[in-house]
Structure 1
């Protein structure tokens, strides 16, 4: 869920112990002020505007009702440079989903390209440049698979809330704050309603299409993250219930690649 998991893991496929898409560049230790979490004011009791919750529910219902969907997601996250000021890093993901048990995420860049496939029985994370693949048995639903992939290999997508079976239940269960900001005619090329939601971990601003009820952008800050950095994901090329060709959720090239195990980035390589 975007409110509880950092976008810093966005589209990062950890194919082997110690492997990372980030450059191995030393960053100086931040001074004490930057290590402090941002000041956050949340109400003691939930304050959830009905209009904001209605917009969120309409978007969630539209997504949950789709038997298949596809979209493009551009995720941007900030990380400190040597100056300790933020630099922005981006990934582009081309996503195809078929409920209840199929998902494909193709990441052509930035960074090394990667491909992720789930066919209801197995997951595959494939690195085309190095021709390496990790394959593992997986649960029979998208929700369970996403949890397993995160627990097993720290694979997390910043658009998880769009993929789950019940987006509203996933997002709304522990909200402390929800309100309507207004409307925009700029984001996503369509009129959007802007809402803000927050729980104990994060605040997220969401742009949702007025007419089609589809999310166009999410912008998050995490309360336990020093630096008050921003993380966002922009959605485009939405298709609801498109026909999905057979074979979309596997890869012949990946099946021929050299196999390695899934591993968490925290796992140390064997000596």
Structure 2
């Protein structure tokens, strides 16, 4: 599966990756005698129910003219010693199709705002009063996935769910798919789905009624370190009016302009 989740977590996702395992007690467990699918057997294990639910989620997201939601969680982040340490991250994401995006990233990671107005990408260091800005190629929000946005990963949105056809993107080169059962995330009844790709396992909890992603877990399989990222989505608003000012970059007075490559505070 060319899900590019490695790119999501390392290039797109630190600001948006969230971990809050708010699962309720009504989860329907897989029967113990059911063997877990493996990468070698996965191509023969594609549950149509799971794919259908993923498609419903994709259609719900793709059909909305505007999307407004929040993400929060704990992000495993490499330390100088090589150990992964947990940092808290939270973000608000606002998108207006086809070509406008606003991301406010807060928490322990680099607090920043990213604004894309269809022509220009602006990243603002909220606390440190500096910014970077450049002309973009223009076009749909997903075109941003073809090039780096400025700053640390904390400035990057969870773009892979915002493309025109998330289903096609998420299922490309998929090894396996199956429905795990019913669960409750933040008080919302969900369908729990699991998928496998080369070197990668990922799960998503989709609202049973609203068909929106509520939780996502991404686990890497390979190498000495195998971090797991968990994302919680909340406060979904689909199709709601968005003030045009949302997509106008508000640069603090006296802020210093930097080159994009200088925006990462750890470098």
- The answer for the alignment partner of 2:176 in structure 1 is 177
Matched, 1:73 2:71: yes
1:113-133 CA-partner distances (Å, limit 9, x unpaired)? 210000000100100211111
Alignment-derived partner of residue 147 in structure 2: 148
Q: Deviation at 1:256?
A: 5.9
Normalised TM-score (structure 2): 0.80
- Residues 153 and 132 of structure 1: CA distance in aligned 2, closer, same or farther (over 3 Å): closer
Q: TM-score, length-normalised on structure 1? A: 0.78
How far apart are 1:193 and its partner, in Å? 0.1
Is 2:51 the counterpart of 1:49?
Answer: no
Name the CA distance, whole Å, in 2 between partners of 1:65 and 1:93: 23
Q: 1:199: how far off? A: 1.2
Q: How many residues align?
A: 240
Within 5 Å, give how 1:157-176 maps onto structure 2: 157=156, 159-176=158-175
Distance 1:247 1:198, change over 3 A: same
Name the Cα RMSD after superposition: 2.9
Consecutive unaligned residues in structure 1, runs of 5 or more:
13-39
Q: What is the distance in 2 between the residues matched to 1:264 and 1:167?
A: 32
Q: Which runs of 5+ in 2 are unaligned?
A: 16-36
Q: Which residue of 2 aligns with 1:63?
A: 61
Moved more, 52-61 or 75-84: 75-84
- Structure 2 distance, partners of 1:165, 1:62, is 11
Alpha-carbon distance in structure 1 between the residues aligned to 2:90 and 2:103: 10
Aligned to 1:7: 9
What residue number does 1:25 align with?
Answer: none
CA deviation digits over 1:126-183, x for unaligned, max 9?
A: 0021111110111211111132225x76757462222211111110111001101000
From the superposition, tell whether residues 251 and 82 of structure 1 become closer, same or farther in structure 2 (CA, over 3 Å): closer
Residues 157/52 of structure 1: CA separation in 2 closer, same or farther (3 Å cut): farther
Give the SS at the match of 1:92. Answer: strand
